[in-house]
Amino acid sequence: MHYSVRMVNGIAIIDIDGKLLLGDGDVEIKQEVDALVAKGKRNIILNLAHCPYFDGAGLGEIIRCYTTARKAGGDLFLLAPSQRLIDLLTVTNLAKVFSCFLTEDEALTSFSEEACRE
């Protein structure tokens, strides 16, 4: 698993490429989110368009990343989650917690709308 980080309109987008598995990217993503939050980048999008598979550890790290962003006063959105992830979020009742978007523009716009409501 590889990832890269880019900034768009002050929002950090983490592009994940590959499987998010125990011992293969799970901890690295959380460390990256921690580093972004420490720099004041509290609004984050996890781009999962090229993440074909994840295991329980991967899901756990996504949840921990979400918690970190929320505790810092920000949010974490999921971009292009696989149907498997959507199904798992639904079964575990986490679909009510995570905001999922099909396009990057939708996710970025949602952050802008939330900022206007504050």
Expressed as residue numbers, the domain containing 99 is 2-117
- How many domains, in total, are found in the chain? 1
**Global model pTM greater than 0.85:** yes
> What Rg do the C-alpha atoms of the chain give, in angstroms?
13
Instruction: Return per-residue pLDDT of the chain as tens, 118 residues.
Output: 899 999 999 999 999 998 887 766 668 889 999 999 999 999 999 999 999 888 888 888 899 999 999 999 999 999 999 988 888 888 889 889 999 999 999 999 998 665 433 4
- CATH code, domain with 82: 3.30.750.24
Q: Which amino acid is at 89?
A: L
